[in-house]
Amino acid sequence: MATILWPRSVLKPKRDPFNIAPRTLAGPSSVSGVTQVTASDAGIWKATFSDIIIRRGSPSVLAFRAIANLLEGRLRPILVPRCCAYQPFDPDSNGAADKVPHSDTSPFSDGGLYRSRSIDIRLTSNIPLRGTTANISLVTAGQLQPGMDFSIGERMYRIRTVQMTGTNTATITFRPPAREAAPAGSEMEFDYPVCRMRLASDSEMDLDLDLISQWSFPTVNFIEDV
């Protein structure tokens, strides 16, 4: 079964924090009050879709229920999309991806079109499993900065450092460590990054509809599928 994608256009949250939760371990305090803390470099993504906008009588209700039914609590993973507000869009573009039909100018059966990338950044070096460094080529992009998120396949990462090595090339470090190896030439998804996650608990998708107001605002918590 293919990993389903959260339909952000239908089930839109008011807030969507994505954070890498550090993994630390602390021993008891010494007599002087000093505590030794050790940490793993792994970290794990956590996300919260807060106050998802649900309107009674709209497709959002059935979409929410359908996703809950497909996920079966924490059993199955889901691709959770990241907001693209802080991505390196080319300043010469308007930030919107062009949509194009088939070669014969016809759309898909549902009227949809192919989506081209607004941001085109690719690996120029291999990333090994658990690697944290990559050489990249900025084919079409604006200024790359630490804190920006990208995904390769179904795995999402956050840039730690950027060192420009040429006009359109750079070396970056990122976290968490690569969940999967990626070969040179792989496309890095900056337009619409996604992260493969699971529900944080089996009850996350319980939907309590307001019988008085037409609006309900459930919150769903996710944790990375590792």
CATH classification at residue 59: 3.30.200
**Shared-domain flag, residues 127 and 188:** yes
Per-residue pLDDT of the chain (226 residues; tens, 9 = 90+): 789 999 999 999 999 999 999 766 555 666 566 666 555 667 899 999 999 999 998 999 999 999 999 999 999 999 999 988 889 998 876 545 555 555 555 555 555 555 567 999 999 999 999 999 999 999 999 999 999 999 999 999 999 999 999 999 999 999 999 999 999 999 999 999 999 999 999 999 999 998 889 999 999 999 999 9
- Asked if the structure places residue 89 within a domain, the reply is no
**Shared-domain flag, residues 186 and 204:** no
Q: For position 196, what pLDDT does the model report?
A: 98
Instruction: Provide the number of structural domains found in the chain.
Output: 2
**Shared-domain flag, residues 152 and 217:** no
- Asked if the structure places residue 99 within a domain, the reply is no
Q: For position 42, what pLDDT does the model report?
A: 74
H-type alpha helices, the chain: 59-71
**Shared-domain flag, residues 153 and 176:** yes
**Shared-domain flag, residues 148 and 221:** no
Shortest CA distance to 195 belongs to which of 44, 71, 88, 1? 44
Instruction: Name the one residue in this structure whose structure tokens are 């085109």.
Output: 120
- Write out the residue range of the structural domain in which residue 157 sits: 118-192
- Asked if the structure places residue 76 within a domain, the reply is yes
Contact 78, 4 (CB under 8 A): yes
